[in-house]
Structure 1
Amino acid sequence: MALRWKPTIPEDNNPDDQTGSLRHYPFAQVVRVQSGPDQGRFRWYLNELPGATTIKKQGVEESLEAAKQAADEQFRSWLTWTGLAPAVTEPETVPVASSTASPAPSPPRPVDPPEQRLPRYLAPLCEGLAAYVEEHGPALDSLYRWKIPAVPAFVPFERDSDSLPKANARLKRALSAAWHTQPERQFEIAEWYVAKWGGVHNRPEKLWGYIAAAEDELAGSGTAGVASWSKLLAVRDPDRFAIFDARVSVALNALQIVQDHERPIFFPPLPSKNTKIGKFHEWMKARDHGDAHKAFPARAYGIYLRILSEVARQLELAAIDEVEMLLFAQAEDLALQAMSHPSDAALPAIAAE
């Protein structure tokens, strides 16, 4: 099932802005980039696809047809993943006659796609977090209270009647579209989202460094500045990346204590001005085996993303930021629960590796 492509605004009949639909529902869009390093090329996007945490959602191609083809391929991958379309199989080859008999081939052994394999040591945390999200996720609209300041005029966004979680998720995708189609505005977007929306202030040269860095370079750079650069990664690709800050880190650590995980994976304590978060850091430090939970910070963000993706897959969530927002919203509550947990033994710990 291929998408049917038409001009996004029929009256304009603009060949540089097209929408791909199936049965009148718009699943994808292709637009010509107007400025910046990708000027003249075509960027494609897929709209939110339920459960599609491992499907590529956007990209840039040299031509309109190549961009539409790339979007079609990812859309078909999603259809196959959901079971709505059969998987593509290789054509059968006709065996060449031979005078010697050959043994019958063994039946193929099913292998999970690499992105769906979960390291064994992450399973308890993913299962525990999935259970927590399943219990508390329905109340996210009332739990998440992060307000949205005045949005830059060049970003097409209105909150309308959406709840704060839904509005913030939609805002992130509006910023992402502006980031890719208006690259000359990237510093303005970064400064607004990190400082005005997120409350984290950086020197201009630091922000420029984050903007210039490749995604994988940032994701593997440790935890220094993660509260800033993870916001920019989430803007670049909100379906692949999520914000990671002190509250989220505390929520993950506290959840494992509350749920009595036998071998918890403690994430590094990140800087915070929040006194409750700071108190939890001190409580952890007094009860932990040295500083084992601070080890391997270069891999902490990647593990965090892997956990969010797995939980979103298990619960068939539309996007990973649903999990991130719940962790952010519940950090203080989980920290208080952990500090009043009956067990007063020293905390077992392994590094987030």
Structure 2
Amino acid sequence: MAQIEASRKFCLAIEEMMTISEALIATATEYIVAHTDSTSSFDWGVRSSAWRNLGTGFPHQKYANDLAQQNIELKWHLAKHWASAALDEKIRIATWIVSDWGGIRRNSEMTILGYVNQADAERPATPFAGISSYSKILAIKDPDRYAVFDSRVAASINAIQLLDVSRRRLKPSDALAFAIPAGRNSAVTDFRDDDGAPASLARRGFALVETDSIYGVYSRLLNDIKCRVGGLSLLQIEMVLFARAPAPCEDARRATSENSTLLKESEAARDPAS
């Protein structure tokens, strides 16, 4: 009961910061509910050497056949470890989650130290720069309040909205365009560089999310979904977005291409001379 009350208060506290359209929340919530089983396809394998480097006693082999559950258990295991760790150990664990687990190896020691200090701050600074890295640290510091924001999650959110706009189920004026960090999935990258780019979405009538406000808006959206869907954690919502990412990106590109073709055919039919 105490955890539910704390979650409710956190939802209300975030709600005071800004407003997201009810239509967008409904679109995202409907998508998450419809694809909750997608976490079973969550595929984020970690190398054996990385597990050896972790050194916190996490029984990763216990979940070798269920990577989704492994991810959930890992985050809560590291949150517990973080709570009693000294600064040096937090830096080591933060480096591990960003580099060994996340595959991002471009951060300096000083950068990681800055992320660790922010993670332990009452109100962490959340600029767009470094968002794929520091959000991983926030997500192990407190999985009940923070979620990872990366290329796949961002692309999913943009694609889900674009699909419903294409289907006339969501007004462009109710939609938000999120900048998408660089990633490694080809379908996500193709979407990011074309239909899913903020400038492209803005031309369709989406409101641009200020880059340094993106993590706050993202957190608000996930918490709004969580507050409306009982039984799902932020981590599970994020995992649905992550696991599903290539599919809505491909579907959105296909839908916008088909709509563009239909529009051209309609215009040609109205103007035979053309």
TM value normalised by structure 1: 0.61
**Structure-2 residue corresponding to 1:267:** 178
1:205 aligns with 2:103: no
**Structure-1 residue corresponding to 2:233:** 319
Structure 2: distance between partners of 1:269 and 1:310: 21
- The amino acid across from 1:326 in the alignment is V
Q: CA deviation at 1:276?
A: 2.1
Q: Secondary structure at the match of 1:317?
A: coil
**Structure-1 residue corresponding to 2:7:** 53
Structure 2: distance between partners of 1:146 and 1:320: 18
Q: Secondary structure at the match of 2:218?
A: helix
C-alpha contact 1:227 1:244 (8 A) present in aligned 2: yes
1:138 aligns with 2:48: no
C-alpha contact 1:128 1:259 (8 A) present in aligned 2: yes
For the pair shown, the structure with the greater C-alpha radius of gyration is 1
- The amino acid across from 2:100 in the alignment is K
Structure 1: distance between partners of 2:233 and 2:201: 33
Change (3 A) 1:118 1:226: closer
1:123 aligns with 2:26: no
- The amino acid across from 2:143 in the alignment is P
Q: CA deviation at 1:152?
A: 4.3
Structure-to-structure mapping, 1:336-351, within 5 angstroms: 336-341=250-255, 342-344=258-260
Structure 2: distance between partners of 1:300 and 1:115: 13
Q: CA deviation at 1:320?
A: 0.6
**Structure-1 residue corresponding to 2:213:** 299
Of the structure 1 ranges 241-250 and 123-132, higher mean CA displacement relative to structure 2 is found in 123-132
**Structure-1 residue corresponding to 2:90:** 186
**Structure-2 residue corresponding to 1:156:** 57
Q: CA deviation at 1:294?
A: 5.3
Q: Secondary structure at the match of 1:216?
A: coil
- The amino acid across from 2:32 in the alignment is V
Q: CA deviation at 1:145?
A: 0.8
| 1:130-182 C-alpha deviation (Å, 9 max, x unpaired) | 111111102421x2111234154542321324721121111011111111212
Q: What's the RMSD between the two structures over aligned residues?
A: 2.9
Larger helix share, 1 or 2? 2
Out of 321, 327, 331, the position equivalent to 2:245 is 331
| 1:297-346 C-alpha deviation (Å, 9 max, x unpaired) | 1211111111111111211124111010110111111100000013338x
Give the gaps of 5 or more residues in structure 1.
Answer: 1-26, 28-45, 57-111, 346-353
Q: Secondary structure at the match of 1:218?
A: coil
Give the gaps of 5 or more residues in structure 2.
Answer: 264-274
Q: Secondary structure at the match of 1:270?
A: coil
**Structure-2 residue corresponding to 1:34:** none
Q: Secondary structure at the match of 2:190?
A: helix
Change (3 A) 1:215 1:245: farther
Structure 2: distance between partners of 1:306 and 1:287: 24
Of the structure 1 ranges 128-137 and 160-169, higher mean CA displacement relative to structure 2 is found in 160-169
**Structure-1 residue corresponding to 2:266:** none
C-alpha contact 2:177 2:201 (8 A) present in aligned 1: no
Out of 241, 256, 260, the position equivalent to 2:146 is 241
Structure 2: distance between partners of 1:203 and 1:197: 16
- The amino acid across from 2:42 in the alignment is Y
Query: Which gives a bigger RCO, structure 1 or 2 (Cα 8 Å, sep 6+)?
Result: 2
Structure 2: distance between partners of 1:301 and 1:117: 16
Q: CA deviation at 1:114?
A: 5.2
The percent of aligned pairs where both chains have the same amino acid is 24
Q: CA deviation at 1:290?
A: 5.9
Structure 1: distance between partners of 2:101 and 2:26: 32
Change (3 A) 1:217 1:310: same
Structure-to-structure mapping, 1:62-77, within 5 angstroms: none
**Structure-2 residue corresponding to 1:88:** none
Structure 1: distance between partners of 2:135 and 2:12: 26
Structure 1: distance between partners of 2:128 and 2:77: 26
C-alpha contact 1:250 1:269 (8 A) present in aligned 2: yes
TM value normalised by structure 2: 0.78
**Structure-2 residue corresponding to 1:69:** none
Larger strand share, 1 or 2? 1
Change (3 A) 1:114 1:337: same
**Structure-2 residue corresponding to 1:225:** 130
Structure 1: distance between partners of 2:235 and 2:114: 25
